[in-house]
Structure 1
Amino acid sequence: MVTSEDDKLPRILVVDDSRMVRASIVKLIRGRFEVREEPDGEAGWEALLVDPAIDLVLTDIGMPRLDGYGLLERIRASRVSRVRDLPVVIISGDEDESARERALALGANGFVAKGAGSVELLATLSSLVRLSKAQHELERSRAALASQSPVDPETGLASAGYLQHRATQGVSEARRRHTDIAALVIEVDQFDELVDRHGAHVVQLILRKLSKMLTSRIRTEDTLSQHSASQFALLSPGIDRVSSCAFALRLRSSVEKLVMGYREERIRVTLSIGVANAAVDGRNTVSELLGLALERAAAARAAGGNRVVADAGEVDAALIERELGRLVSIDNALRQVRAGARAEVEAQLPEIIAALMPLLELLESKTHCGLPLRQLEALKHRSATDGDDAEATRTSI
């Protein structure tokens, strides 16, 4: 016989250090609920982490190792939404109003006195389980709707589904037009520590601030999405490696200097950014391009954070200057050749060859005209090696 999800009995975790109390509760709710028993708050917490079938927690207050208040606090502070959102009912022999107020203040959904009849207990548990299931259904509906919508209702940014759609289009167009497309993964450093120190609410405000900053700095044709709790993903069509790295570096620097204030607190954050470009990295699919940017963001974080990592490793201002210098040298070289200054151009040939090589390779692949690519590549490397030896000599002097 096949049992559907709707036919399964709701599973309740009963946490109480008294075996007799647990047996009494099981007797009262048997047939309406499936029960898992644990003798104290610590064991109850461990059960929650490994048992995703639990629909509600019914816990005593006074217990060894971890009491009911401590268990409730852990549940509401959990980063796992499945655990954090569970209904929790306190069952206690303490009729003190202050105990009830404290439990409700910590996030309890109900408070039932020991000795209460089966009608009251069953009514409380049944209503909370129904409410929890209705909320989960609503969340699933919202998630399904968000996956089809271009805008995430929570962040106001592009939804994950729309980012994938735009990325697929962008990669295809870049391949067809022989242009480039950049993917950036922007991660907030020490995210868990920020949550622990300032709380989830404050960190959400920080993410909102960063989201607005990012949105104000990107173009209309760019697509920004919140990739995970601590990460943003940015897709930029028509952007080459140097431009995407330069943008990432400016963004990292701007956030590093930013000081956010919240209730007399001064909060600073830094970013780890991974950059991938389809043309340079040879990635032809969305998943490969975003995956590479994600790996490089992780490498930046592992190196200490507050870094930008691209295909050649960590990006800094000096690297951008060198790359920009190579691009500008071609324009200068053309002007110098026209002016007859051939000797000055010959000194720049290694950089010029390196900058033009992708274009020459493309021309050869389309025309098959016999361009001496191997000889040019060898000349580029030989000249570069000579330059390195000369540099090493000058340094030693």
Structure 2
Amino acid sequence: MTMTATSLIVGHSPASRKAIATTIKGTDLFRQILFSADSQEAFSQLKKHSVDMVFCDLRRLTGKAVDLFKRLAKQEEWGDIPVIAFTPEEDEATRIRGLELGASDCLSFTASAKEVAAKARFLLKIKERFEQLRSSRAQLAELALKDGLTGLYNRSYFDATLEKEIARSQRSEKSFSLVLLDLDHFKDVNDNYGHQAGDRVIQTAAKVFADSARNADVVCRYGGEEFAAILPETSTAGARIFSERIRKKVEGLDPVSLGIGKPITVSIGISCADFRHPITMSELLENADRALYTAKNRGRNRVEIFTPTKRHPPMVHFPAYKGHAVAFA
């Protein structure tokens, strides 16, 4: 193991910190050694630096020492950091208490650098494995929320996020917009050019949608050739600008590069959640659906905004479709 790790020494006296540092330097494991006199200073260092291991002087089991162990165990980002405590050789009670509090190991101040290195190397390997497991778990969790074809968030994530955004909008008293996007005549693409071409079209359109969004926006594949975007703190005017930009980009895609013989267009419906008028998730989706249906009914390749006073064409629902949106071509 090369000298790439960072350690933190916690000791109440300069003498104890120096003694521990001398031993640690002899292990040839740590590129950087940080120092703190108490738990408060230790947590300040932990916030500033990526610490791989903590060494502490446990000659006096004070309240601050106990606080160090408890807070390390409690904080998720620090919970995997191994802690080696140093105690007087004859003080078995303190060593046992240190282990009970959460120390990874307790060593005597007389321990050699070779012994400390063996313990530290073992604990660092365990820490590395925990980090790999956590990373794998996070990746799996992320994959469960993503659409396999486009890499956008999926319907489940969309539903959960929309509910949260409605609640957040009410708390913060800030409106937001919901945008539904549906590729026009997509069935013809699959029928005439095959499903591989259809997949290319969906993937390319999805990239246009994602690239057009801000960091705060949430873009999802809603189902089939339909997509949805949640735009926090965005008025219908802002949502229209976003939607028109997307519509023009999709219209400008090169059909030859997609393996099809005609341009792709998208119809877009917008609804706004005005915090002054509480709205349910179902109502918001239905309003966006109505606007989208209006866009389809008026010739496609256009953006429509739902307004309660505006006359929208009657909806056509398909019993086989399980969701709020209607089926379009």
Query: What's the TM-score, normalizing by structure 1?
Result: 0.43
Structure 2: distance between partners of 1:126 and 1:360: 66
Structure 1 alignment gaps of length 5 or more: 1-5, 147-151, 153-159, 171-182, 184-221, 226-232, 237-243, 253-273, 297-308, 328-354, 382-397
Whether contact under 8 Å (1:87, 1:109) holds in the other structure is yes
Structure 1: distance between partners of 2:296 and 2:116: 75
Q: Give every structure 1 segment of 4 or more consecutive aligned residues whose post-TM-superposition deviation is greater than 6 Å.
A: 63-66, 317-324, 355-358
Whether contact under 8 Å (2:178, 2:284) holds in the other structure is no
Q: Structure 1 residues 119 and 323, CA, compared in 2 at 3 Å: closer, same or farther?
A: closer
Q: Partner residue of 1:111? A: 106
* Secondary structure at the counterpart of residue 46 of structure 1: helix
Q: Partner residue of 2:56? A: 59
Whether contact under 8 Å (2:54, 2:82) holds in the other structure is yes
Which of 275, 290, 304 aligns to 1:313? It is: 275
Residue type at the aligned position of 1:42: Q
Residue type at the aligned position of 1:311: A
Query: After the TM superposition, which residues 327-346 of structure 1 pair with which residues of structure 2 at under 5 Å, given as runs?
Result: none
Structure 1: distance between partners of 2:88 and 2:59: 10
- 1:135 lines up with 2:130 in the alignment: yes
Structure 2: distance between partners of 1:294 and 1:88: 45
Whether contact under 8 Å (2:39, 2:67) holds in the other structure is yes
Which of 145, 157, 168 aligns to 1:163? It is: 145
Structure 2: distance between partners of 1:30 and 1:66: 29
- 1:290 lines up with 2:218 in the alignment: yes
State the Cα distance separating 1:105 from its structure 2 match. Answer: 2.5
Q: Deviations over 1:11-54 (max 9, x none)?
A: 211111222222222222325133222222221111111101x2
Q: Partner residue of 1:91? A: 86
Whether contact under 8 Å (2:178, 2:231) holds in the other structure is no
Structure 1: distance between partners of 2:148 and 2:43: 42
Structure 2 alignment gaps of length 5 or more: 168-174, 182-205, 220-228, 234-270, 312-329
The structure, 1 or 2, with the larger RCO (C-alpha pairs under 8 Å, 6+ apart) is 2
State the Cα distance separating 1:55 from its structure 2 match. Answer: 0.9
- 1:77 lines up with 2:74 in the alignment: yes
Structure 1: distance between partners of 2:99 and 2:115: 18
Structure 2: distance between partners of 1:136 and 1:293: 33
State the Cα distance separating 1:98 from its structure 2 match. Answer: 3.9
Q: Deviations over 1:187-223 (max 9, x none)?
A: xxxxxxxxxxxxxxxxxxxxxxxxxxxxxxxxxxx84
Structure 1: distance between partners of 2:83 and 2:70: 11
Q: Structure 1 residues 102 and 234, CA, compared in 2 at 3 Å: closer, same or farther?
A: farther
Q: Partner residue of 1:219? A: none
Residue type at the aligned position of 1:290: V
Structure 2: distance between partners of 1:118 and 1:105: 25
- 1:234 lines up with 2:231 in the alignment: no
The CA RMSD over aligned residues, in Å, is: 4.9
Q: Partner residue of 1:47? A: 45
How many residue pairs were aligned? 223
Q: Structure 1 residues 66 and 235, CA, compared in 2 at 3 Å: closer, same or farther?
A: closer
Structure 2: distance between partners of 1:61 and 1:361: 71
State the Cα distance separating 1:77 from its structure 2 match. Answer: 1.1
Structure 2: distance between partners of 1:362 and 1:103: 69
Q: Deviations over 1:263-290 (max 9, x none)?
A: xxxxxxxxxxx9864239xx97356652
* Secondary structure at the counterpart of residue 224 of structure 1: helix
Residue type at the aligned position of 2:29: F
Q: Deviations over 1:353-388 (max 9, x none)?
A: xx98765554333599xxxx9xxx9x969xxxxxxx
